[in-house]
């Protein structure tokens, strides 16, 4: 499209993961040329760069977990493995000439809004000034370490799944895994193949739905290379299927929830033969209250002779291993922390200061909130991609980012046309949006009697409580009545 006569904004994007790459591509398509991406690590890819644990894979079908404009005929499994996803993002970044825009090993330490511009300082003592600042730091990237007494005393090897130490040999070792969430369900079957004994410390059992991980042949890939429209059909089909099942089930739609509950309960009943073990693996909360795990290997693994499911709570950790509340010492050589992430840190620990010196810590002192999950009052021309209440139950994060990016680009286009100089959500709009979200939460399964990473410190789910279609519809066009605009 022609952009003659439009202002050309300078845009700084924080993070070169899936969303940062997407933003750079779409900004350039719109004719914006002054784009800088600041990446704290040595490579792009975000979560797929960080997570290299054995068995790492996406639990969204691969042909759905792609950019809509860049179908991938090279997937080798229905649920793509981490290294393939990382390779896909690198390939797309190179193809769309995003990589040269990325400043690697340059973490943002401080950003402040002054004189209608953002001033950004980095770990390399560099300063950037931009019209728009967009945080694309993702949701789950700050590893959460458990607060267990004595953890630092353990004399074996200990690491978080997102910081996997590949130099540690696992063959013949006594391995402990703390946690049974999505990551643990992928890790445990893999370490079970190597470890002499694998002790799984379970605080809360999880609901698991079995979807076979089909392997795609070279013939499949040849066909998809020749007929890319087939991939677009796959994308549409998987999107429709996930939307009608998982996504509607978690927001309380009766029939999808009944179906999901039936599938999870049947999977447990038919997969785990020992009634005592099955009882230990049976959750006492509604299906979907925690993220439903898509997995076809965990139940088989936990029944292996070298598996030990420990449901006694952990009392402490000693030099030799884990002591449970029944006084038993579980001696270990390696301790793996599959304990998830801090979901409400977002762009922090960066110091972010908005107008009149308001810090993000002050703005979020009572509650982490953002209007439309994107805009924060008192932070003009700042966008938080995939902010609170973005996640939609078991849906593709790429699809979410694409919808948000279109919304943000419409706002930037109006800035380019001179309709305003700065834009920020009003406090009133934020409160109204929060009330709208809270109203929708009543019928969801996230309030179904469990503790999950979905819940903020107040116990409110930081999720979208309505349908995917409703979200797409509401994100079509910005409502400028909800914003404070300046023209000077």
Residues 6+ positions from 407 with CB-CB distance below 8 Å: 372, 374, 475, 476, 478
Same domain, 325 and 391: no
Please give the model's pTM, rounded to 2 decimal places: 0.94
Same domain, 43 and 57: yes
* Residue 1 within any structural domain of the chain: no
Same domain, 158 and 302: yes
195-202 mean pLDDT: 98
Tens-digit pLDDT profile for residues 8-27: 999 999 999 999 999 999 99
Question: Of 337, 369, 387, which residue is a domain's last?
Answer: 337
Tens-digit pLDDT profile for residues 129-156: 999 999 999 876 778 899 999 999 999 9
For a pLDDT cut of 70, what percent of the chain falls above it? Answer: 97
Same domain, 160 and 274: yes
The pLDDT, as a whole number, for residue 335 is 98
415-443 mean pLDDT: 95
Same domain, 351 and 327: no
Tens-digit pLDDT profile for residues 23-49: 999 999 999 999 999 999 999 999 999
The pLDDT, as a whole number, for residue 430 is 97
* Residue 294 within any structural domain of the chain: yes
Question: Of 337, 354, 374, which residue is a domain's last?
Answer: 337
The pLDDT, as a whole number, for residue 251 is 87
Q: How far apart, in whole angstroms, are the C-alpha atoms of residue 457 and residue 463?
A: 14
Same domain, 208 and 294: yes
Question: Of 320, 337, 354, which residue is a domain's last?
Answer: 337
* Residue 239 within any structural domain of the chain: yes
Query: What CATH number should be reported for the domain holding residue 304?
Result: 3.50.50.60
Residues 6+ positions from 5 with CB-CB distance below 8 Å: none
Q: At what angle do helices 397-416 and 18-29 cross, to 10 degrees?
A: 40
Q: How far apart, in whole angstroms, are the C-alpha atoms of residue 332 and residue 324?
A: 13
* Residue 307 within any structural domain of the chain: yes
427-454 mean pLDDT: 87
The pLDDT, as a whole number, for residue 387 is 93
Same domain, 384 and 255: no
Tens-digit pLDDT profile for residues 469-484: 999 999 999 999 999 9
CB 155 within 8 A of CB 179: no
Range of the domain at 102: 10-141+342-486
Same domain, 382 and 292: no
The pLDDT, as a whole number, for residue 342 is 73
H, E, C per residue of the chain: CCCCCCCCCEEEEECCCHHHHHHHHHHHHCCCCEEEEECCCCCCCCHHHHCCCCCCECCCCCCCCCCCCCCCCCCCECCCEHHHHHHHHHHHHHHCCCHHHEECCCCEEEEEEECCEEEEEECCCCEEEECEEEECCCCCCCECCCCCCCHHHCCCEEEEHHHCCCCCCCCCCEEEEECCCHHHHHHHHHHHCCCCEEEEECCCCCCEECCCCCECCHHHHHHHHHCHHHHHHHHHHHHHHHHHHHHHHHCCCHHHHHHHHHHHHHHHHHHCCCHHHHHHCCCCCCCCCCCCEECCCHHHHHCCCCEEEECCCEEEECCCEEEECCCCEEECCEEEECCCECCCCCCCCCEEECHHHCEHHHHCCCCCCCECCCECCCCCCEEECCCCCCCCCCCCHHHHHHHHHHHHHHHHHHHHCCCCCEEEECHHHHHHHHHHHHHHHCCCHHHCCCCCCCECCCCCECCCCCCHHHHHHHCCCCCHHHEEEECC
The pLDDT, as a whole number, for residue 2 is 38
Residue 17's nearest CA partner among 132, 141, 180 is 141
Same domain, 359 and 407: yes
The pLDDT, as a whole number, for residue 460 is 83
The pLDDT, as a whole number, for residue 462 is 84
User: Worst-scoring range by mean pLDDT, 276-285, 372-381, 447-456?
Assistant: 447-456
The pLDDT, as a whole number, for residue 53 is 97
Q: How far apart, in whole angstroms, are the C-alpha atoms of residue 195 and residue 132?
A: 50
Tens-digit pLDDT profile for residues 430-442: 999 999 999 999 8
Q: Is the pLDDT score of 3 beyond 90?
A: no
> How many domains is the chain partitioned into structurally?
2
Q: What token pair was written down for 185?
A: 């369900």
Same domain, 321 and 351: no
77-97 mean pLDDT: 97
Same domain, 134 and 64: yes
* Residue 287 within any structural domain of the chain: yes
Same domain, 263 and 174: yes
The pLDDT, as a whole number, for residue 312 is 95
172 pLDDT tier (thresholds 50, 70, 90): very high
């Amino acid at each position: 499209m022609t952009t003659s006569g439009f202002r050309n904004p300078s845009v700084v994007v924080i993070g070169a993961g899936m969303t940062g790459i997407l933003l750079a591509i779409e900004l350039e398509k719109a004719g914006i040329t002054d784009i800088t991406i600041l990446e704290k690590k040595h490579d792009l890819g975000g979560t797929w760069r960080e997570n290299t644990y054995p068995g790492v894979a996406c639990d969204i079908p691969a042909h759905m977990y792609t950019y809509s404009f860049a179908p991938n005929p090279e997937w080798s499994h229905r649920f793509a493995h981490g290294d393939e996803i990382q390779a896909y993002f690198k390939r797309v970044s190179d193809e769309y000439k995003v990589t040269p825009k990325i400043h690697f090993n340059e973490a943002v330490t401080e950003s402040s809004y002054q004189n209608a511009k953002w001033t950004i300082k980095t770990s390399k003592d560099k300063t950037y000034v931009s019209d728009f600042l967009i945080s694309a730091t993702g949701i789950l990237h700050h590893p959460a370490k458990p607060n267990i007494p004595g953890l630092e005393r353990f004399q074996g090897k200990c690491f978080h799944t997102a910081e996997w130490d590949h130099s540690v040999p696992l063959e013949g070792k006594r391995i402990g895994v703390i946690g049974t969430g999505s990551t643990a369900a992928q890790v445990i079957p893999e370490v079970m193949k190597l470890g002499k004994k694998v002790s799984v410390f379970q605080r809360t059992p999880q609901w698991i739905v079995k979807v076979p991980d089909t392997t795609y042949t070279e013939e499949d890939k040849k066909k998809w290379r020749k007929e890319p429209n087939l991939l677009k059909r796959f994308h549409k089909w998987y999107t429709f299927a996930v939307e009608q099942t998982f996504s509607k089930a978690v927001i309380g739609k009766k029939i999808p929830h009944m179906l999901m509950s039936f599938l999870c309960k049947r999977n447990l009943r038919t997969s785990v033969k020992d009634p005592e073990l099955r009882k230990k693996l049976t959750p006492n909360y509604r299906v979907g209250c925690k993220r439903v795990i898509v997995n076809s290997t965990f139940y088989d693994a936990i029944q292996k002779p070298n598996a030990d499911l420990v449901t006694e709570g952990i009392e402490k950790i000693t030099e030799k291993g884990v002591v449970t509340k029944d006084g038993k010492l579980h001696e270990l050589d390696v301790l793996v922390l599959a304990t998830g992430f801090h979901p409400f840190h977002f762009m922090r620990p960066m110091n972010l200061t908005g107008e009149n010196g308001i810090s993000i810590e002050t703005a979020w002192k009572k509650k982490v909130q953002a209007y439309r999950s994107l805009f924060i009052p008192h932070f003009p021309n700042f966008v938080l991609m995939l902010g609170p209440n973005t996640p939609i139950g078991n849906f593709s994060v790429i699809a979410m980012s694409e919808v948000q990016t279109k919304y943000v680009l419409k706002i930037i286009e109006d800035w380019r046309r001179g309709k305003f100089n700065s834009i920020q959500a009003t406090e009133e709009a934020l409160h109204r949006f929060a009330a709208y979200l809270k109203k929708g939460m009543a019928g969801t399964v996230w309030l179904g009697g469990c503790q999950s990473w979905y819940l903020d410190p107040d116990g409110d789910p930081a999720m979208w409580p309505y349908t995917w279609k409703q979200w797409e519809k509401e994100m079509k066009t910005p409502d400028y009545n909800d914003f404070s605009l300046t023209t000077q």
